[in-house]
Structure 1
């Protein structure tokens, strides 16, 4: 997007509201020894499993971790895979076995069954469908192989030793709070026109993002005036954004849920010659961050592509029967929800290295 003088004046503003880039961790109890790969021989009351006095990155016993995720047909998913493999390569005590990505639940189930038969020490799984993969994940747990569930939850908490999630509702809240800050800063008033370009409406994650956005806007007396849905693809993003622009002659703020589909959204803006609004993105692509640097975008809200990489780190500790050295309760938590920080011109340099290519 080339950006007119008026556009540049509007987007080059310091962030009024950003969320701390912190890890929100909630522990929901500790799994029984039968699913934590511990051996109970009754020989001693001394707990030798906890090794929180030393750095978690110090080498431990060698472990084999199986990793399975969907097909990388989306920039964010490709980053999920690459970050996971790069993280595993950092540890000399980890052998990572990567199943070929697939969008077919039955194929992914067979991959997990292979990991079980091979007797891997832990499994990190981003399921194509959480409900469809619940049973085979449970079978792995019952076989004594801890499972780390990433991004898409199983239908039974017992199917995973640990679950790592992005904060979809929090992502919407962050975008909405930032939009409220723009309304206040620029005196847009109660008649501000706010638009939303969602992802797939059938997905709970999309519903959560929209709910968070609406809830945050309500806090400053605003609401969503126009909402369209895309499908997390470039083509659908362009089509949805084109429909939105045809419906409104003037818009103050646009929030797009996904920076991959944002490539198409930006193309629609360019084709229509429209740049009168503040543009907020979602997910944290490198494209979006470069647009922020260039003054073509106001902000983007991170949905971490590091979730599987974090899963590798935690699977390694669980398989080695170690805990987290930075926690007083040293056991690896049962549930971890990652933060949704807002990236602006003020902090884009910090986040750009973690941006994924669309």
Structure 2
């Protein structure tokens, strides 16, 4: 168990989940118990059993609620199909170990790979090796810089997350007649392109209301740092009108700091769409009023796409004969009014 997971469980009563590698059965399975939803079976002819395919899967270690849900969603979707043999490798946060794991899948001659790299740049070469070996790669979330390294990319819209958060906050403040608001932003890791995209989207959306961010600081996607950063920002600003926190996992720490400080004069928006964030929103007893999605259900879609690619099929709702080269999921805004529609998709932080 990682320190982050242990700390999260200690502070907030959450349970830790241990993931195991190895081939999975294709028999029907019970829904996952970690907040990762059992994807609904699709109704198209593409879901009829076809050519048997072996799907290799590699992702980082599940020391973060979102990553744990990625692995669970991938496995749950693979189990829906009798023609899929799901072959995950041991999850790891070590770049070299992930490269070795992917190389082992290439050597095993799997039919298709689904890879969420720890770092797209550093795993680009091994993805190219797979492609050159005739194994198509479905690149999940963190993108490989070389388009020759993957057949299809599927992931969330980081810029769109910022836009969604910015519009929600902008409209709320505008409707309240707030002028010159104090808007605080708690990022994930400031140096990552995905964080920079989220920040830009937020700034661009706020600008349409004549607003801008007063202060921002990154919190490294952890509960502990989220708590520390939020505490610091709360101390620095005696009055805040709105806060956007990029990540619901670190948001557990952010909310704890807000409650500890007894602050409730502002509205908060989260990021990613965790189950615990949805419960806070639904209860209506805290400053958290919305969260913008970056759903780990993208892993379910990646498995479905990998199966179609390996079987030489396209997407039944599209005219084209082949699966698209990239698919970007929309970032949706979850509020008390629509949370019931998203509850089943939440993941536990």
Per the normalisation by structure 2, the TM-score is 0.86
Structure 2: 5+ residue runs without aligned partners?
1-43
Partner of 1:307: 298
CA shift for structure 1 position 330: 2.8
Equivalences for residues 28-47 of structure 1 within 5 A = none
Query: Is residue 80 from structure 1 mapped to residue 78 from structure 2 by the alignment?
Result: no
Where 1:65 maps in the other structure, the secondary structure is strand
Superposition map of 1:251-270 within 5 A: 251-270=240-259
Alignment partner, residue 353 of structure 1: 344
Instruction: Decide which of 286, 289, 305 is 2:278's aligned counterpart.
Output: 289
Q: 2:87 aligns with which of 97, 117, 124?
A: 97
Aligned with 2:96 (options 85, 102, 106): 106
Distance in 2 separating the partners of 1:112 and 1:192: 49
The answer for the alignment partner of 2:161 in structure 1 is 171
Superposed, which structure 2 residues align to 1:175-186 within 5 Å? Answer: 175-186=165-176
Report the counterpart of residue 232 of structure 2 in structure 1. 243
Matching residue within 129, 132, 135 for 1:142: 132
Alpha-carbon displacement from aligned partner over 1:46-85 (angstroms, at most 9, x marks no partner): xxxxxxxx62211111100000000011000000000010
2:223 corresponds in structure 1 to: 234
Correspondent of 2:114 among 119, 124, 133: 124
Once residues 329 and 321 of structure 1 are traced to their aligned partners in structure 2, the CA distance between those partners, rounded to angstroms, is 12
Shift of 1:183: 1.4
Higher relative contact order (CA 8 A, sep 6+): 1
Q: What is the match of residue 335 of structure 2?
A: 344
Cα deviation for residue 260 of structure 1 reads: 0.3
Q: Partner of 1:78: helix, strand, or coil?
A: helix
Distance 2:188 2:62 in 1: 17
CA distance in 2, matches of 1:106, 1:225: 40
Name the residue aligned to 1:194.
Answer: 183
For residues 118 and 321 of structure 1, what CA distance do their matches in structure 2 show? 20
Q: Which runs of 4+ in 1 moved over 6 A?
A: none
The structure number with the bigger radius of gyration is: 1
Q: Which of 317, 325, 345 pairs up with 1:334?
A: 325
Deviation at 1:179, TM superposition (A): 0.9
User: CA separation in 2, counterparts of 1:240 and 1:63?
Assistant: 46
RMSD: 1.1
| Matched pairs, number | 305
Stretches of structure 1 that go unaligned for 5 or more consecutive residues are 1-53
In 2, Cα distance between equivalents of 1:214 and 1:105: 33
SS of residue paired to 1:340:
coil
SS of equivalent to 2:312:
coil
TM-score, normalised by the number of residues in structure 1: 0.84
